[in-house]
Amino acid sequence: MRFLDQPPRFLFFTGKGGVGKTSLACASAVTLAEAGRRVLLVSTDPASNVGQVFGLAIGNRITAIPAVPNLSALEIDPQDAARAYRDRLVGPVRGVLPDAVVKGIEEQLSGACATEIAAFDEFTALLTDAGLTAGFEHIVFDTAPTGHTIRLLQLPGAWSGFLETGKGDASCLGPLAGLEKQRSQYQAAVAALADPQRTRLVLVARAQRAALREVARTHEELAAIGLSRQSLVINGILPSCAAQGDALAAAIVRREAEALAGLPVALRALPVDKVALKPFNLVGLDALRRLLADDDADAADDDGAEACAFDAPALSSLVDAIAADGHGLVMLVGKGGVGKTTLAAAIALALARRGLPVHLTTSDPAAHLAETLDGAVDTLTVSRIDPREETERYRRQVLASKGAGLDAEGRALLEEDLRSPCTEEIAVFQAFSRIIREAGRKFVVMDTAPTGHTLLLLDATGAYHREVSRQMGGKGLHFSTPMMQLQDPEQTKTLIVTLAETTPVLEAARLQEDLRRAGIEPWAWVVNNSVAASRPRAPLLRRRAANELAEIDAVATRHARRYAVVPLLDEEPVGVARLLQLSAPAGTGV
């Protein structure tokens, strides 16, 4: 594998949930250790299963892996890190500030932004403290810091004094408030990440057009902030020999080949490795050793590839319930790469085909709704919110209002903060807020809705709708805010989209917790691209289908109030006819 050629000291594996980062990181660590290198494997994944992979408890301490000489592992729990981070910041003001203010601070420090920074806080020492890791030649990280986190850490260090004088109102100040004392350490960590002699980033993706567009954006985002030494691993490619006698498998092989042929230009200069899809669960040393082996024997292995019984609600059951209301807001949320755009288009089309007025909108930079729909339908209108345009509009608005009375230093700091990724999230939410007013008279279907992180930022202290409530209280006046609309189950149905794989399901569960903290109760879950629901005949796919059943059961019994499962289709769901297939009633031949 090219990404393991002459490896530097730090190897970071990054990518969307479910693409196989943990498996590749573990397999790489084993490969290096068995080549005689002393290796520390570090997981910062909230859904870390490194211990499960090796069959032992690891946790937040450096633990030797007995079965692999030269290999040790460490699991950083971002949630534990975030709790410790909050306690460190909030502890000194408990009993000093009013309880309502303390609660507001805690809420602001409960989102994904704070969790990312807290996890970075934990492993910064691994990048900068030579004494701590002196016994290791290589440190392999499962889940790298995102460009979002690094940009936050690059914000100016003068915010504390700036705020004390009452000049600023930064969108990310809650998570950033505790960084001042360690800023030099963070600067050293960011420098290590940007040093091509010390660090290599391994971008992990699947051979799917949307996934490759996502990873191309990640590549450009990280390169723009100085993390230039990158490799690309395209994981889980279905071997052509596995497609014999199965139309679904043959279609997957063809689609993946087309996706690779159309590799985004931004990725073509990177070293690229391809890893075949395996039929087995990647648990245990034998499985890890086989992951990076170039062996097609597994693809045709029929051992244990029995057909599995499958029965789950179809997407049509959710569409029926949505349509019964006649109008309302339908939000599709979830991590990148799970198919939100496709499902949003499918639901919007299914509603429009019933003669209902529908507005379908997206803010996803990679979403090509016109291309996905590839046709027009009466009663359906389509729009796209451009995040860059909305962010620039929001920046101008804030500078004209909050920046009007600032001196040159204050205005420069405000402009710096407005370059944080939180600014884009809030700007896009404002654009969505303008559109969702239409949901009182028609259906509004929103792709890439605000994340739980954004909602917590917007409502951390209840600054908007609670203030309106206070001002209107006792006057007998009716009022409504965007947050109130999102929180009202009579007006909004939030659908969480995931895949039938361990990491995507766990990430969706965490997103659900974020939404609930913001007062939004998800209405349903949609498990997309299910192999099990497609009832494949190819041995490799049948074994993959059997592996999905436990994840679908977890959604049905532990996470969702109601759910639906959408099958993986043999043709790309592009165009009106194929999109309507996704919402066709069960038993109609789809």
Q: What's the CATH number where 200 sits?
A: 3.40.50.300
Stretch 184-205: mean pLDDT: 87
At 458, the pLDDT band (50, 70, 90 cuts) reads low
Q: Which of 14, 17, 21, 530 is catalytic?
A: 21
Of the candidate ranges 88-92, 274-278, 342-346, the one whose mean pLDDT is the lowest? 88-92
**pLDDT band per the 50, 70, 90 thresholds, residue 168:** very low
Which one of the listed residues 16, 31, 43, 45 is annotated catalytic?
45
Respond yes or no: is residue 72 known to be catalytic: no
DSSP 88-135: HHHGGGTTTS-HHHHHHHHHHTTSHHHHHHHHHHHHHHHHH-TTTTTT
Residues 6+ apart with CB under 8 A from 257: none
| Distance from C-alpha of 65 to C-alpha of 136, rounded to nearest angstrom | 14
Q: Given this model, what pLDDT does residue 28 score?
A: 96
Residue 134 predicted with pLDDT over 70: yes
* Whole-angstrom distance, CA of residue 219 vs CA of residue 228: 8
**φ and ψ of 33, to 5 deg:** -65, -40
Looking at the domain assignment, is residue 309 inside a domain? no
Q: Which phi and psi angles does 31 have, rounded to 5°?
A: -60, -45
195-199, 418-422, 450-454: least confident range: 450-454
**Which residues, listed in sequence order, are joined to residue 235 by a DSSP beta bridge?**
206
Together in a domain, 442 and 486: yes
Do 252 and 352 sit in the same domain of this protein?
no
In this structure, are 331 and 222 located in the same domain? Answer: no
Same domain, 269 and 335: no
- Of 12-26, 411-425, 446-460, 466-480, the range with the lowest mean pLDDT is 466-480
Same domain (yes/no): 340, 265: no
CB atoms within 10 A of CB 330: 26
pLDDT score for 180? 57
In this structure, of 335-349, 422-436, 458-472, 541-555, the range with the lowest mean pLDDT score is: 458-472
Catalytic residue among 14, 16, 23, 364: 23
Rounded to 5 degrees, φ, ψ at 291 are -60, -45
45 catalytic per annotation: yes
Most confident of 71-85, 189-203, 514-528, 550-564: 550-564
Give the model's pLDDT for residue 185.
76
Q: Compute the distance between CA of residue 351 and CA of residue 451 in angstroms, rounded to an integer.
A: 24
Q: Residue 321: is its pLDDT beyond 90?
A: yes
Residues written for the chain: 590
DSSP state of 203: E
Query: What's phi and psi for 170, nearest 5 deg?
Result: -85, 145
Reply yes or no on whether 20 is catalytic: yes
Q: What is the mean pLDDT of residues 142-158?
A: 63
Query: Are 75 and 173 in the same domain?
Result: yes
Q: Note whether residue 386 is domain-resident.
A: yes
Question: Could you say which of 14, 15, 16, 18 is catalytic?
Answer: 18
What's residue 172's pLDDT? 57
How many C-beta neighbours within 10 Å does residue 472 have?
Answer: 12
Which of 221-230, 457-466, 492-501 has the weakest average pLDDT?
457-466
Of 563, 577, 508, 573, the C-alpha closest to 534 is 573
The one catalytic residue in 503, 530, 534, 583 is: 503
- Confidence bin at 589 (pLDDT 50/70/90): very low
How many domains are contained in the chain? 2
Residue 375 pLDDT > 70: no
Same domain (yes/no): 113, 24: yes
310, 532 Cβ separation under 8 angstroms: yes
Instruction: Specify which of 86-100, 403-417, 554-568 reaches the highest per-range mean pLDDT.
Output: 554-568
pLDDT at 184 over 60: yes
pLDDT in tens, 221-246: 888 888 889 999 999 999 998 888 88
Domain assignment present for residue 307? The answer is no
pLDDT at 17 over 60: yes
Tell me, yes or no, if 22 is annotated catalytic: yes
In angstroms, the CA 351 to CA 209 distance is: 27
**Catalytic member of 14, 16, 17, 20:** 20
511: containing domain: 315-582
Burial class (CB in 10 A: 0-12, 13-18, 19+), 542: buried
Q: Is position 310 within any domain?
A: no
Half-sphere CA count of 571, side-chain side, radius 13 A: 12
More confident residue, 431 or 238: 238
Q: What angle do CA 532, 538, 540 make, to 5 degrees?
A: 75
b/e burial code for range 393-429 (CB count within 10 A of at least 16 → b): ebbeebeeebbeebeeebbebbeebbebbbbbbbbbb
Question: Is the pLDDT at 496 greater than 90, yes or no?
Answer: yes
Checking if the pLDDT of 158 tops 80, the result is no
Annotation marks residue 228 as catalytic: no
Name the token pair of 147: 């460009």
Q: How would residue 447 be classed by pLDDT, with cut points 50, 70 and 90? A: confident
- The reported pLDDT for the residue numbered 456 is 56
Assign 8 a pLDDT band (cuts: 50, 70, 90): very high
Single out the residue in 272, 300, 328 at which a domain terminates.
Answer: 300
Is the distance from CB of 482 to CB of 446 less than 8 angstroms? no
Query: Can 21 be counted among the known catalytic residues?
Result: yes
Is 223 contained in some domain? Answer: yes
pLDDT at residue 386 is higher than 90: no
Write down which residue in 238, 272, 300 finishes a domain.
300
Are 226 and 341 found together in one domain?
no
pLDDT at 144: 65
Q: Would you put residue 31 in left (φ > 0), alpha (ψ -120 to 50) or beta?
A: alpha
Express each pLDDT in 76-119 by its tens digit.
877 777 787 778 778 877 888 788 777 767 766 766 666 767 77
Does 476 score more than 60 pLDDT?
Answer: no
Nearest to 331 by CA among 495, 521, 490, 562: 495
Kindly state the percentage of the chain with pLDDT values over 70: 79
How confident is the prediction for the chain on average, in pLDDT? Answer: 81
Last residue of a domain, one of 300, 327, 343: 300
* Structural domain contains residue 347: yes
Closest CA to 559 of 500, 490, 519, 518: 500
In this structure, the answer to whether residues 398 and 504 fall within a common structural domain is: yes
DSSP H helices, 460-527, are: 465-472, 482-487, 502-517
List all residues 6 or more positions away from 97 whose beta carbon is below 8 Å from its beta carbon: 105
Which one of the listed residues 14, 15, 16, 22 is annotated catalytic? 22
**418 shares its domain with 387:** yes
Q: Which residues pair with 383 in a beta bridge?
A: 361
Higher pLDDT, 349 or 178: 349
Q: What is the per-residue pLDDT for 429?
A: 79
Q: How confident is the model at residue 159 (pLDDT cuts 50, 70, 90)?
A: very low
Q: Would residue 498 count as lying in a domain?
A: yes
Q: Are 278 and 298 in contact (CB under 8 A)?
A: yes
Residues 353 and 289 grouped into a single domain: no
Identify whether residues 281 and 335 lie together within a single domain: no
pLDDT value for 163: 45
For the chain, give the longest Cα–Cα distance: 75
Residue 410 is a catalytic residue? no
Give me 326's structure tokens.
């006649």
Determine, yes or no, domain membership for 308: no
